[in-house]
């Protein structure tokens, strides 16, 4: 049997090398953590990639050129350099009703409720995600709906004992007795301030939500669990453009859309995909890729969402890759200290949604998400909307707090912290009313 013998001198040498390597790694990491900039005057000068110029340098002047060439290029660039590409393997999805409206009465006045288990099968492996749906009870026509992911489990969105508690991995929270990454009944309804379900159904909309951790648990395990376990190649052969968690969550939203297309009570042509924070990044990527989403709403989505990466203010590409390496594809990590070389910036992610209505929401105290960068990315996406004559974001400066602007490209800066509040929902529903022809008189609002 062989044994490797390290000479005492070479042992010391080896340890010194390891020490020096770890030290430089720690120093680099510390530099990223300590150097958060919040000063507009220290933003490096930057040039954004053009919206209406193809990768080959040709101008884009028609909606046809946009649809056939530029939009496809933008999606491919985001796949390759940022969110990653879903494996080509086909997935069969079964939709099983696990809670129907005829079960016991939901505690939301005016709503019917159902929960569907979406079971994803590929090559004999499965993963499942629960879709909780509330619809207005008295609707005579198919209803428009807000689709969104949630952070802690469907049972945390409403306080309804009939909604099953997720069995998936959840973040620990001592106050809710969540200690071993498994949720508890104490967590029921803990997020309900973010979900005015009664108000949403009263205004004629449905609300559907999925716990994002059902699709892919939000921690870095080298892509071994969630939908990655079903579809991905083993880690050591993983391509550098293989999808990360945000792409997986976005993919799950499209599987919910497949289901809506089969439900007579839901109007699948009027689905708004909405998300907050990391799930706002996800809503943008889902809406950019899947044109069946008729509207996209990104709340406090920040770096990797609506905020321009090149501003490097608040959260940066370097920092987000270090803390959340599993959110993006491996290629994105290379841009931490050279964002100017990214062939994309976040205005192009918004542009890829054109001409569908887009709403970006910021919060005044959410400096980490760079509210100004979110507004500017929206503004810089407007040439794509202008191809349809839909460039209505004429404001050159950000509006003052709590003022909603724009018809096709909506924006507000809510006063307060990183959160989703009734004010945000009011703006989102008012914006959706404009496009989804909601009959306000019938809903008793006018």
Question: Which C-beta is closer to ligand GTR: that of 200 or that of 320?
Answer: 320
Note whether 120 and 179 are within 8 A (CB).
no
Pick 206 or 304: Cβ nearer ligand GTR: 304
| 152 belongs to the catalytic site | no
Residue among 110, 432, 179, 415 nearest 295 (CA): 432
Residue 95 — φ and ψ, nearest 5°? -115, 110
Min separation Cβ 320 and ligand GTR, Å: 6
Are 201 and 110 spatial neighbours (Cβ–Cβ below 8 Å)?
yes
Give 422: exposed, middle or buried? Use CB within 10 Å, 0-12, 13-18, 19+: exposed
Residue among 66 and 83 whose Cβ is closer to ligand GTR: 83
* Residue number, 87 or 287, with CB nearest to ligand GTR: 287
Calpha distance 281→302 (Å, rounded): 8
Bridge partners (DSSP) of residue 210 are 131, 149
- CB 368 → ligand GTR: shortest distance, Å? 6
| Helix or strand run (H / E) with residue 76 | helix 71-78
Nearest distance in Å: CB 151, ligand GTR: 8
Q: How far is the CB of 51 from ligand GTR (least distance, A)?
A: 24
- Provide Rg for the chain, Cα atoms: 23
Instruction: Name the 3-class secondary structure at 61.
Output: coil
If the CB atoms of residues 139 and 279 are measured against ligand GTR, the closer one turns out to be 279
Task: Rank residues 137 and 367 by Cβ distance to ligand GTR and give the closer one.
Answer: 367
Measured from the CB of residue 323, what is the shortest distance to ligand GTR in angstroms? 6
Cα dihedral 357, 363, 366, 372 sign: positive
Whose tokens are 């703006």? That residue is: 427
What is the spatial distance between Cα 79 and Cα 344, in angstroms, rounded to a whole number?
11
Measured CA to CA, the distance from residue 268 to residue 419 in angstroms comes to 28
Residues 316 and 304: their CA atoms lie apart, in Å, by 9
Q: Tell me, yes or no, if 168 is annotated catalytic.
A: no
- Least spacing, CB of residue 227 vs ligand GTR, in Å: 19
Angle between helix axes 71-78 and 278-289 (nearest 10 degrees) is 140
The catalytically annotated residue of 220, 254, 326, 418 is: 418
Say which of 277, 301, 309, 362 is annotated catalytic.
277
Residues at the site binding ligand GTR, with contacts judged by CB under 6 A: 277-278, 302-303, 315, 320
Tell me which residue has tokens 């709590």: 402
List active site positions: 277, 418
């Amino acid at each position: 049997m062989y044994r490797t013998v390290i000479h005492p001198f070479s042992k010391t040498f080896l340890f010194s090398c390891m020490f020096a390597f770890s030290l430089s790694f720690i120093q680099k990491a510390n530099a990223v953590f300590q150097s958060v900039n919040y000063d507009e005057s220290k933003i490096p000068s930057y040039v954004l990639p053009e919206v209406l110029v193809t990768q080959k340098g040709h101008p884009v002047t028609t909606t046809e050129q946009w649809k056939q060439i530029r939009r496809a290029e933008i999606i491919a660039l985001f796949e390759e350099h940022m969110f990653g590409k879903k494996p080509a393997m086909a997935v069969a999805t079964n939709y099983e009703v696990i809670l129907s409206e005829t079960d016991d009465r939901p505690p939301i006045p005016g709503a019917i409720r159902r929960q569907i288990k979406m079971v994803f099968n590929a090559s004999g492996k499965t993963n499942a995600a629960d879709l909780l749906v509330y619809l207005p009870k008295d609707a005579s026509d198919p209803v428009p709906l807000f689709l969104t992911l949630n952070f802690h489990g469907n049972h945390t969105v409403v306080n309804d004992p009939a909604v099953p508690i997720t069995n998936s991995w959840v973040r620990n929270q001592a106050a809710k007795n969540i200690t071993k990454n498994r949720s508890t009944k104490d967590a029921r309804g803990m997020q309900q301030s973010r979900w005015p379900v009664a108000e949403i159904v009263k205004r004629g909309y449905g609300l559907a939500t999925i716990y994002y951790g059902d699709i892919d648990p939000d921690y870095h395990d080298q892509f071994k669990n969630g939908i990655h376990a079903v579809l991905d190649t083993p880690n050591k052969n993983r391509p550098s453009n293989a999808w990360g968690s945000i792409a997986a969550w976005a993919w799950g939203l499209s599987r919910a859309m497949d289901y809506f297309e089969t439900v007579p009570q839901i109007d699948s042509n009027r689905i708004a995909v909405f998300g907050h924070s990391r799930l706002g990044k996800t809503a943008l990527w889902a809406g950019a890729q899947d044109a069946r989403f008729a509207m996209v709403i990104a709340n406090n989505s920040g770096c990797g969402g609506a905020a321009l990466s090149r501003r490097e203010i608040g959260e940066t590409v370097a920092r987000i890759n270090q803390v959340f390496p599993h959110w993006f594809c491996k290629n994105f990590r290379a841009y931490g200290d050279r964002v100017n070389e990214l062939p994309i910036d976040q205005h192009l992610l918004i542009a890829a949604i054109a001409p569908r209505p887009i709403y970006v929401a910021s919060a005044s105290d959410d400096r980490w998400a760079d509210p100004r960068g979110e507004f500017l990315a929206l503004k810089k996406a407007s040439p794509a909307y202008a191809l349809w004559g839909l460039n209505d974001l004429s404001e050159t400066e950000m509006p003052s707090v709590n003022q909603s602007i724009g018809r096709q490209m909506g924006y507000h800066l809510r006063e307060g912290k990183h959160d989703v509040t009734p004010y945000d929902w009011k703006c989102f529903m008012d914006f959706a009313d404009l496009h989804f022809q909601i009959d306000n008189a019938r809903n008793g609002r006018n």
